[in-house]
Amino acid sequence: NGRVYGAVGFSIMEETAYVIHAKAVLIATGGAAGLYKPNNPGFSRHKMWYPPFNTGAGYAMGIRSGAEMTTFEMRFIALRCKDTIAPTGTIAQGVQAKQVNSKGEVYEHIYGLTTSQRVYGTVKENQLGHGPCYLKTSGITSEQDQDLLKAYLNMAPSQTLKWIESGKMPSEQDVEIQGTEPYIVGGHTARRETTIHGLYAAGDVAGGCPQKYVTGALAEGKIASLAIIEQLKDDYSEETSEIEKQAQMILADYEKIRNGENGLFTIDELEEAMQKVMDEYAGGIASNYQFNEKQLNLAEEKITRLSELADQVGAEDMHELLFAYELKERLLVCQVLIEHLKNRKETRWHSFNENLDHPETDQKFEKYVNSRMEDGKIRILFRDLVKGDTYEHTNS
């Protein structure tokens, strides 16, 4: 009836599942990493910009409950130091290093200085045969060398170790840069209560503001908690029989996976296949973050098939049950993401949303591309922007 009554979950330490009854539920599980093939493969596949344990679970819970989703197509791609995935801003701002190509030419002013433009410029320079691309640190002072070593030791020690292992300080070699794989960082709501009464989202689960960063995420958590306190003043009746029926269906799914054996493919194999599909057909690194409608249609077809295969996986223990759900949730997020990419028929953010069929910005799309899962199908809804006033969705 468009209202949340709690949650169902399980322990990974013991054979126990929980049905939790609540007047309000706040989802703050972060965004989605691991949808795309990572730029560091194999053993180092979790050396990425966004936390690997943020698997899109919060998005999937919202999608399944019928909440309206927003802003998926505004993917985020970070510009990082190659291989170490260390931040580039520390170098760019700390020692005023410019982005240069292999010829030593500064190119950042050609493409722009926003995050997406910095990534786009680096991709374009490589496509033009002017790569690799670097942050120009050669020639900085020995004091600046030490400042950079200390700064990265504090937040990305692998970069400091790389300099030490190479035997060359930043002043003796430029730092090669590249984009990460895409991440999803904002999808539920343009305010903190979703279109499901009593279901709230905060942090990167909340949409409409996809580059809020840590301080913005914390602010949203506080705003959500204050809104929940206000909501708890209202009386509401609990439809116990319907809730128990839904809970038992979820518990039955747990049992099915725990008692089943893997079908044709393991969880790891299906996850790897998913990342390959998204990389090649939905604007990953392999395609320079670009896509067209034909590729997205192929991605949709292949992800749908992988979702069917994911329903055949089994889990030997509760930890594997977690991995099974991470796979299913990532695949569901992939399906919604593909629909959002298909329906924004323009290029509004280079690299973040690089549509080859529609390479220009179209003012007709100065609006939200939203979606809602209805009877197992993803329905796209376009929502107008409200300018000069407060935007609040309705629960209809």
* Secondary-structure percent of the chain, ordered helix, strand, coil, rounded to 5: 45, 15, 40
How many helices (H) and strands (E) would you count in the chain? 11, 13
- Cβ of 386: how many Cβ atoms within 10 Å? 10
pLDDT of the residue at 49: 86
Q: What are phi and psi of 377, to 5 degrees?
A: -115, 145
Degrees to nearest 5, angle at CA 163 with 162 and 164? 90
Distance between CA atoms of 179 and 72, rounded to whole angstroms?
Answer: 19
Helix H or strand E encompassing 33 = none
pLDDT of the residue at 396: 46
Distance between CA atoms of 291 and 37, rounded to whole angstroms?
Answer: 15
Helix H or strand E encompassing 142 = helix 142-155
Degrees to nearest 5, angle at CA 7 with 200 and 33? 65
SS (H, E, C) 39-102: CCCHHHCCCCCCCCCCECHHHHHHHHHCCCEECCCCCECCEEECCCCCECHHHHHHCCCCEECC
The 8-class DSSP code of residue 364 comes to: G
Q: Which two tokens stand for residue 316?
A: 């030997």
- In a 10 Å sphere around its CB, with 0-12 CB exposed, 13-18 middle and 19+ buried, how is residue 173 labelled? middle
The 8-class DSSP code of residue 235 comes to: -
- CB within 8 A of 374, min separation 6: which ones? 66
User: Per-residue pLDDT tens for 133-143?
Assistant: 999 999 999 99
Q: Which two tokens stand for residue 283?
A: 């604007």
Q: Is 203 helix (H, G, I), strand (E, B) or coil?
A: helix
Whether the ω angle into residue 182 lies within 30 degrees of 0, i.e. cis, is no
CA dihedral 79, 83, 88, 91 (to 10 degrees): -160
Cα→Cα distances 46→51, 53, 54, 60, 84, Å: 8, 9, 11, 21, 11
- Cβ of 362: how many Cβ atoms within 10 Å? 13
In the block, tokens 């399906």 appear at 335
- CB within 8 A of 142, min separation 6: which ones? 169, 171
pLDDT of the residue at 188: 45
pLDDT of the residue at 81: 95
Q: Is 386 helix (H, G, I), strand (E, B) or coil?
A: coil
Taking the chain (396 residues) in runs of 10, the rounded mean pLDDT of each run is 91 94 92 93 80 94 94 93 92 94 96 93 97 96 95 92 95 96 74 88 85 79 91 74 88 94 89 97 96 98 97 94 97 98 95 96 93 95 79 54
Distance between CA atoms of 282 and 215, rounded to whole angstroms?
Answer: 30
pLDDT of the residue at 174: 97
Q: Which two tokens stand for residue 131?
A: 């790569």
- CB within 8 A of 62, min separation 6: which ones? 27, 69, 187, 188, 194, 196, 199, 201, 205
| Contact (CB, 8 A) for 286 and 280 | yes
How many CA within 13 A on the CB side of residue 84?
19
Distance between CA atoms of 51 and 62, rounded to whole angstroms?
Answer: 20
Distance between CA atoms of 285 and 182, rounded to whole angstroms?
Answer: 8
The 8-class DSSP code of residue 171 comes to: G
